[in-house]
């Protein structure tokens, strides 16, 4: 399933809802994990691409010594503006930047970090080649991607509920993009094409996603991601809330009333220069 241009649109109220609902739901645990992996490498300069609203940036700022420079970038200015507004525990340089055309010199960083952004790159080998270009010798490109949607229970449930609501043209953003780039062989080949010579390492990590209610999880996915764009394009009446409610009902039916919990899983990849 090829990505569409709307898959990269994080605008309007999406950044606020993304930070409020989606970050604690699925991103926080993996952000801390990435930050610890970076810290173990003892870098001097770290570049983050596709920083979103800054969950990894904040984890890096907490984990890395104060003398380590952190530059955080994202293609979407509204997301970066939200990240900067939330802030970090110490100084971070925020810069809008396209991961496929990084505005930095060769060998400028000891580590390049990307949390759940690689799936959105239109040309993954090109973006990976840019990461390799800006890495110093002995540097590392650390990134993670979601495993297939069946291993991510809330996302799979939401996708199924929307397929029932829009059977003629089901919204497939979650399966197509966030959960559409999980095959290890394909990722390794893209890194090889980008110029990484050493075989990358893969670490598959299972975590638990928790929400105070099914409604909270439904808002996170239906209103805090570009899935919202697909729903609104199909619902001429603008009944985004109706789709959100239907997804909440499906989540409650599968995971129970009240607070809910489901499995999430991702691959963490390290490619060294």
Give the domain ranges of the chain: 5-272
For position 7, what pLDDT does the model report? 47
Share of the chain residues as helix, strand and coil, in percent rounded to the nearest 5: 45, 20, 35
The residues, any chain, with a CB within 8 Å of residue 207's CB and separated by 6 or more, are 29, 30, 263, 264, 265, 266
What span, in angstroms and rounded, lies between the C-alpha atoms of 210 and 207? 10
CA angle 212, 115, 148 (to 5 degrees): 70
Mean pLDDT of 19-26: 95
Q: The domain 5-272: what is its CATH number?
A: 3.40.50.150
What span, in angstroms and rounded, lies between the C-alpha atoms of 256 and 259? 8
- For the chain, the first-to-last Cα distance in angstroms comes to 31
For position 2, what pLDDT does the model report? 53
15: pLDDT confidence band, cut at 50, 70 and 90? Answer: confident
Nearest to 34 by CA among 13, 16, 48: 48
For position 30, what pLDDT does the model report? 97
Q: How far is CA 99 from the centre of its chain?
A: 14
**Alpha helices (runs of H) in the chain, residue ranges in sequence order:** 14-17, 28-40, 55-63, 77-86, 124-133, 153-165, 173-176, 184-193, 214-223, 227-234, 240-255
Q: How far is CA 110 from the centre of its chain?
A: 22
pTM score of the predicted model: 0.93
Convert the pLDDT of each residue in 165-191 to its tens digit: 999 999 999 999 999 999 999 999 999
235: pLDDT confidence band, cut at 50, 70 and 90? Answer: confident
Nearest to 15 by CA among 213, 152, 169, 220: 220
What span, in angstroms and rounded, lies between the C-alpha atoms of 210 and 69? 33
For position 265, what pLDDT does the model report? 98
Residue 3 has pLDDT above 80, yes or no: no
Count the Cβ atoms, other than its own, within 10 Å of residue 259: 12
């Amino acid at each position: 399933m090829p990505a569409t241009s709307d898959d990269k649109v994080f605008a309007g109220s999406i950044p606020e809802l993304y930070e409020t609902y989606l970050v604690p739901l699925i991103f926080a645990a993996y952000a801390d994990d990435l930050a610890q992996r970076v810290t173990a490498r003892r870098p001097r300069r770290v570049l983050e691409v596709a920083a979103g609203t800054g969950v990894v940036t904040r984890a890096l700022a907490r984990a890395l010594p104060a003398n380590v420079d952190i530059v955080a970038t994202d293609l979407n200015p509204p997301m970066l503006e939200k990240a900067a507004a939330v802030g970090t525990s110490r100084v971070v340089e925020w810069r809008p930047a396209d991961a496929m055309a990084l505005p930095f010199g060769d060998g400028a960083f000891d580590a390049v970090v990307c949390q759940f952004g690689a799936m959105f790159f239109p040309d993954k080998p090109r973006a990976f080649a840019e990461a390799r270009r800006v890495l110093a010798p002995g540097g590392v490109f650390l990134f993670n991607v979601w495993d297939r949607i069946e291993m991510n229970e809330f996302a799979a449930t939401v996708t199924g509920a929307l397929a029932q609501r829009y059977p003629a043209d089901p919204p497939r953003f979650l399966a197509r993009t966030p959960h559409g780039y999980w095959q290890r062989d394909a990722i390794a080949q893209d890194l090889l094409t980008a110029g990484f010579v050493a075989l990358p390492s893969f670490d598959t990590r299972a975590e638990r996603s928790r929400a105070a209610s099914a409604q909270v999880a439904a808002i996170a996915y239906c209103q805090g991601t570009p899935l919202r764009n697909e729903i609104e394009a199909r619902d001429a009446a603008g009944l985004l809330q109706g789709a959100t409610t239907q997804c909440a009902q499906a989540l409650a039916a599968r995971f129970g009333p009240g607070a809910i919990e489901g499995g999430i899983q991702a691959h963490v990849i390290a490619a060294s220069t």
